[in-house]
Amino acid sequence: MRLIPCLLLPTLMLAAESPTFAKDIGPLLTKRCTECHGEKKAKGGLRLDSLEATLKGGKEGPVVVPGQGLKSELYEVVTKPEGDADIMPPKGKPLTSEQAALIRAWIDAGAK
């Protein structure tokens, strides 16, 4: 009987540590992305200034596939090599590997 709670503990801890838009992703996107994808300017019809807008996507469709970070355009464009014409953000330094991993973890956890 004691074995079951021990097996569930890592799963519960992982769920509790999942990144959230409000705490982790929103501030990152605001700092690095909303100059071009915000309320005042929405290149490609894409806004990244709220959870709802981020999940909606832009003119080309959704950029986040909840539960599938590797299939999400948002993760794909922030992990392109520096100098790639399609890397985001296009100006300034690329996102760090930790920032990109946080975005992927958020998407993989369901993009909530």
pLDDT in tens, 20-71: 999 999 999 999 999 999 999 999 999 999 999 999 999 999 999 999 999 9
* Residue 10: pLDDT over 50: no
**Percent of the chain at pLDDT exceeding 90:** 85
d(CA 57, CA 36): 14
Higher per-residue pLDDT: 89 or 13: 89
Q: Where are the domains of the chain?
A: 19-108
Does residue 87 contact residue 81 with C-beta atoms inside 8 Å? yes
Mean pLDDT of 99-110: 98
- pLDDT for the residue numbered 8: 44
